[in-house]
Amino acid sequence: WKDKELQGFWESLGGQIALVIQNCRLYEESVQERLAYAQRVESLELIKEIDRLVLTEMDIQKVFEKICRLVMSVIPCDRVTVVRVDEEKEEFEYIAGWGVDFPKGFRVPMKKTDARWVVIRKSPVYRPDLSKETLVPFDRELFKQGFQSDLRLPIKSHGKVTALLNLGSYFN
């Protein structure tokens, strides 16, 4: 090959490689957009299923158990529980879920768990790394069971937190 032919070859090859890289980026973006869309559709399906469940099921215990299963199908986690807020006794009562070593009906004084902050603030609490937290007695027990992170969400009725949906993971 002559120098001009070699230069033309390299320029052509460089342009083709740039085009391949650009197409790969566009493909990756389209895959990410499709995944995000699929997640939105899945979330909407979950909301629709929960709405249907709440409208058709009369037993609140069964509603919460099914909600826990639905959450588990969408969010990867190792624990999903629902606890009822008993403000008179200042306790949480475990009423539904799976992934913990406590029986249904188990009660925890609010002062022994940071879940009380969800009730006080009426907003979620996310703790991505429990090993970096100062844990109160009940939360220490969950940490001993292997949970490394958790998310606690308020369930409200008429502006008042009546229950909590709790998710926990062995990974942070």
Alpha-carbon distances, residue 78 vs 21, 99, 161, 171 (angstroms): 39, 6, 24, 9
pLDDT at 137 (0 to 100):
95
Q: What is the pLDDT of residues 142-162, one digit of tens each?
A: 999 999 999 999 999 999 999
DSSP string, 47-81: HHHHHHHHHH---HHHHHHHHHHHHHHHS--SEEE
One-letter amino acid at 168 equals G
* pLDDT band (50, 70, 90) for residue 51: confident
Q: Is pTM beyond 0.85 here? A: no
Q: What is the pLDDT of residues 27-42, one digit of tens each?
A: 899 989 998 888 888 8
Please check whether residue 36 is in contact with residue 65, taking contact to mean a CB–CB distance below 8 angstroms: no
pLDDT at 1 (0 to 100):
57
One-letter amino acid at 75 equals I
